[in-house]
Chains A and B, each alone.
Chain A
C-alpha cells in the first residue's frame, strides 16, 4: 500500500456514531414468547408452513442450552430485545421513494456514491426489513433474482421452500434456532444456470434502535455453472446497552458453480454478533468466504463449507481485529464429505488494548472422502501485554489418503520492521499501522478497491485507538 493511498483514507470515526430518530410503523413487544413468533409471522402474512417452521425453531431455542465453550453469552438478556420492528410500510422500488430520514442515514454511510460507482444492486437493511432495493436492468434480464428474503418467500415460493433451512436447520445450534424463529429481512439471491453475474451484489446492513435485534436471513442459490460475488458490510451506531445480531446465511453452490461471499463486519462495540454461515458445495463447485470482523463486543462466527460433491473446493479467509473490551471468536470450518475435494483456510488475527482474538476451526474428512487436500494457516499478532490470543483447531481425519497440513504462529510486531520503517521517515504510529495492514493483506487484496480502502481505514482507526 502506498503513502498516497493511505493519505486518501480519512479518519472520521464519528460517521459510525450517530442515531436517527425513526418512527417505526410496526413493532413487537420486547421479549420472546410464542406470541411474538406468531405475531411476526402474522404481520408478514406468511404461509402456514413458515409459521410452523418458526414455532418449531422457537421450541428448540427454548430447549437448547446456551453454549459453554465460549464465554460471555450468558450476559445477553433475551427479554430486553425487541424481535421485530418495521420502519416503513412496503418495499421501496426506487431511491426516490425511500423515506428522507432513512435516506439521510444512507447518505452518511456513503451508499449513493457507492452505488453510482459500481453497485450491481443494493439491498439495504434498515433495522429489520429491507427498505430499499434496486437491481439493475441487466441483472433482471439475466434472470438473476436479488431481493429481500421476505419478498422472495412471496414471489419465489417454490425455489425458496426447496432450499430454505436445508443448509442450516434450526436445530443446528441455539442461535440458528433463534434466528429461524424470528428471522426478518436479509437477502435472497438466485443465479440461474450458466449465468455469470458481472459485478458484485452488495447489501448494506445497519442496526439502528437500541436493543433492536437483527435476525436477518440470507439465502443464496447459485445454479449449475453460474457465478456470483456477494458483498456485505456492516456499520452500526454505538449505544450503552447490549445489542444483538443473530444472522443465518445459507449458500447453495450447485455443480460447477462459483460463489464468493465477502463480509466486512464493523458492528459497534456493544453488539453481540452471533452468526451461522454455511455453504453446501456440490460437484466441482468453488465456494469462498472472505470474512473480516473488526467491530462488535463479541463475535461468534465460523464460516463453514460442506464439500458435498466430488471435486468441490473451499477457500476461507478469516480476519479479526480485537480491541478493548472485544472478543473476536472467529474461525472456519471445512467438512469434506466427498472425494477429491480441496480446502484452504487462512486466518489472521490482531489483538490489542486487552482485546481477545480466538481462532476456532474444524477440519473434518469423513469416511469416503478420499483424495482430500486440506491446508490451514493461522497467524496471530498481539500488539501489547494486555491482549490475548487463542488458537483452537479441531482436525478429524478418517481417510488414509488425506493430505492435511496445519500451521499456526503467534507473535508481536518485529521491532526491526518498525525501526526500518521509521528510518524511512514514518512515525512509529504509521510504521505499526503499515505492518498491521501488511499482515492483513491476504484479506485486503481479495477486496474490490473501494472496500480495500475502507477496510484499511478501519484498521488504521483501530490502530490509532491502540496507540492513543
Chain B
C-alpha cells in the first residue's frame, strides 16, 4: 500500500506543460524537475512509524483533471475587505481579487502569483522559491506540489513592517472533476509582524448535488527571519467531495514566533502535514488544530516539530470531534536535537467520539537527544462527553442536547477564538454548529 500512489496526472510531460503555462524561467523548471525526481523516488510515507496509517482509498484519481494553466481572471477586484490589510482570492484556477490597503502597499508588502511578481522582482521569487528549502524533502506530497503546481502564491512582508490587520487569502474550489495544485510561499522579514487568514471554501462551480470529486492541493512554505512574528489562521471548509492535501512548513529564525490556528471542517479526505523547524535561539511555535469530521470524512493530520536551536518552545495542540463514520489520524512527532538545550515542548492530541462508528488514532511520538530540557512531554486523551459536565449544565436548566452541543463547541473554541477576523470567526462557529444537528441525529440513532 505504501507505494500505491500512482497519480495519473503526474509526470514529466505535465510538469513541462504547467511550467510553460506559467512562463517559468529556466531555474524554476529545473527546480520542478528536481521535485519530480524526488516525488518519483519517494514512498507515500517515509516514516515507518506512520506507514500503517495512510489511507487514500477514498480518492478516485482517474476522475480528476488538474488545471494546467492559471492566471488572472478577466476582471480582478481590488477591493480590500474591512478590517483586512490585503486580500487575494483565487476561484478555481483564476485570481479574481487582489488588493492591498494603502498601509500594506506603502510598507512594500507583496501578495501575488509567482508569475506576476516575477515580472518586477525576479530575484525576490528566486531567493524564496529556488531549492524549495521550505518544503520537506522526504515528503512525496510536498514534492508533488513543488513539481506540479499550476499556481504559485507569494506573500512577502518586508523587515520591520508591523501589520495589525490580517492578510486574507481565499481559495475557492470544487468544480466537479477539477483539481488545483498550488504553492504558497510566505516570507516575514526581520522583526516584521503579520497575520494571515487562509480561507478555503466551495467555489461557485461547486455542485453539492454532484458525487464527482474535486481536489485542492497546496502548501504554506513559511520562513520567519530573526524576530519575525506570524499568526496564521487556516479554515478549510471545502465541499463534501473535495480532496484536500496540504503541506505546511515553517523555518524560524532567532526569537521568531509562529502561531498556527487551523480548522478543518470540510472535504472528503483531508491530509495535511505540518513541519515546524525551530532553528533560531529563542524561537517558538504555538499550534492549535481542530477537526470536526462527519459522514465518512477522514482527517489525516501529521505534525513534526524539530527543536534545533537553544531555548526554543513548542506548544502543540490537536483536537478532533468525530461523528458518523468519520475518522481522525493524529500523527505527531517532536524531535529534540542534541543542539537544542533548554527546550520546552508539549504535544497534546485529544479526541471526542460522538458515535459508535467513529474512530480516532493518535500517535504522539517523541524523539529526544538532549535531556537538558525545560519540558518535553505529551498528552493524549479520547473520551465521550463528560456526563458530569452535562449534568452540571442541565442543573442550570439547559436541555441535554444543548448541553452536549455547548461542551463540544467549548472543546473546539480555543482554535475558533484565534481566527483573526470576527466575521470569519463567526462563520467557523456557524459551520461547526451546522454539523451539530447531524451529530445529534447520529447519536440518537446509535442510542
Contact = CB atoms under 8 A, between A and B. Distances in A.
Interface stretch (A54-62, A142-150, A395-403, A419-427): A395-403
A385 B365 contact: no
5 contacts: A382-B368, A400-B384, A402-B384, A407-B379, A408-B377
Contacts of B370: 385
Contact of A380 (B364, B368, B380, B381): B368
Contact of A392 (B49, B376, B382, B383): B49
B124 interface: no
A390 B358 contact: no
A448 B125 CA distance: 69
B372 interface: yes
Interface in A397-453: 397-412
Contacts of B384: 400-403
Given A396-B359, A399-B356, A389 B368 contact: yes
B361 A408 contact: no
B200 interface: no
Given A69-B49, A406-B364, A408-B366, A393 B380 contact: yes
A406 B370 CA distance: 23
A253 B298 CA distance: 37
Interface string B373-399: 101111111111000000000000000
Contacts of B377: 407-410
A402 to B, nearest CB: 6
A396 to B, nearest CB: 5
A78 interface: no
A339 to B, nearest CB: 12
Complex A-B, nearest 9 residue pairs according to Cβ-Cβ distance, in ascending order: A382-B371, A412-B371, A400-B353, A406-B380, A409-B377, A391-B366, A410-B376, A69-B48, A404-B382
B353 A402 contact: yes
Contacts of A401: 384
A388 interface: yes
Interface of A: 68-69, 367, 380-385, 387-412
B49 A398 contact: no
B48 A410 contact: no
A402 B446 CA distance: 15
B367 A388 contact: yes
A402 B366 contact: no
A343 B383 CA distance: 15
B286 interface: no
Nearest to B335: A390
Contact of B378 (A399, A400, A408): A408
Nearest to A404: B382
B24 to A, nearest CB: 38
B277 to A, nearest CB: 19
Contact of A405 (B358, B365, B372, B380): B380
A412 B368 contact: no
Contact of B372 (A391, A394, A400, A412): A412
B314 to A, nearest CB: 13
A406 B360 CA distance: 14
A401 B372 CA distance: 39
B363 A384 contact: no
Contacts of A407: 377-379
B223 interface: no
Contacts of A406: 362, 364, 378-381
A319 B378 CA distance: 19
A395 B356 contact: no
Contacts of B49: 69, 392
A396 B331 CA distance: 11
A3 to B, nearest CB: 28
B382 A397 contact: yes
A402 B373 contact: no
Contact of A393 (B359, B364, B375): B364
A392 B365 contact: yes
A23 B317 CA distance: 62
B354 interface: yes
A367 B355 CA distance: 11
B338 interface: yes
B55 to A, nearest CB: 13
A388 B357 CA distance: 39
A10 to B, nearest CB: 30
Interface string B331-351: 000000010000000000001
B63 interface: no
Contacts of B378: 391, 406-408
B401 interface: no
B41 interface: no
A388 B369 contact: yes
Contacts of B368: 380, 382, 388-390, 410
A131 to B, nearest CB: 41
Contacts of B369: 388
B355 A400 contact: yes
Given A389-B368, A397-B353, A412-B372, 14 more contacts: A367-B356, A388-B369, A389-B367, A390-B368, A404-B381, A404-B383, A406-B364, A406-B381, A408-B377, A408-B379, A410-B368, A410-B371, A410-B377, A411-B373
A1 B383 CA distance: 38
B372 A385 contact: yes
Contacts of A396: 359-361
Interface string B176-189: 00000000000000
Contacts of A385: 338, 370-372
